[in-house]
Amino acid sequence: MPIFEYKCADCGKEFEELVFNRDECPPCPDCKSDKTEKLMSACKFTTGGGAPDMGDFSSSSAPATSASSGCAGCSGGNCSSCGS
């Protein structure tokens, strides 16, 4: 839905409004002034309930992933540390 951010030139209030005509500037909801201008909005979105728990990978004994056949110290499985 087209929700835009606006600022009132008279009272300084910033507000969001659902507007179908992108050239329209709605009146201020507080002081009812028609002197409003559209603001440049920052992109805001969320992808879920927060960042995933990545655990503690500060040690060199991180577990191997299922995508690789070696240890966490190598990516192909042919290093001397894992013997693969």
Residue 53: its pLDDT value, please? 58
Residue 27: its pLDDT value, please? 95
Residue 22: its pLDDT value, please? 78
Mean pLDDT by 10 residues, the chain (84 residues): 88 93 90 94 67 54 48 60 57
Residue 67: its pLDDT value, please? 47
Residue 19: its pLDDT value, please? 87
Which residues on neighbouring strands pair with residue 36, listed in sequence order? 8
Task: Please choose, from the candidates 61, 84, 83, the residue with its C-alpha nearest in 3D space to the C-alpha of residue 73.
Answer: 61
Contact assessment for residue 47 and residue 38, using Cβ atoms and an 8 Å cutoff:
no
Residue 24: its pLDDT value, please? 86
Please report, for the chain, the start and end positions of each structural domain, with discontinuous segments joined by +.
3-38
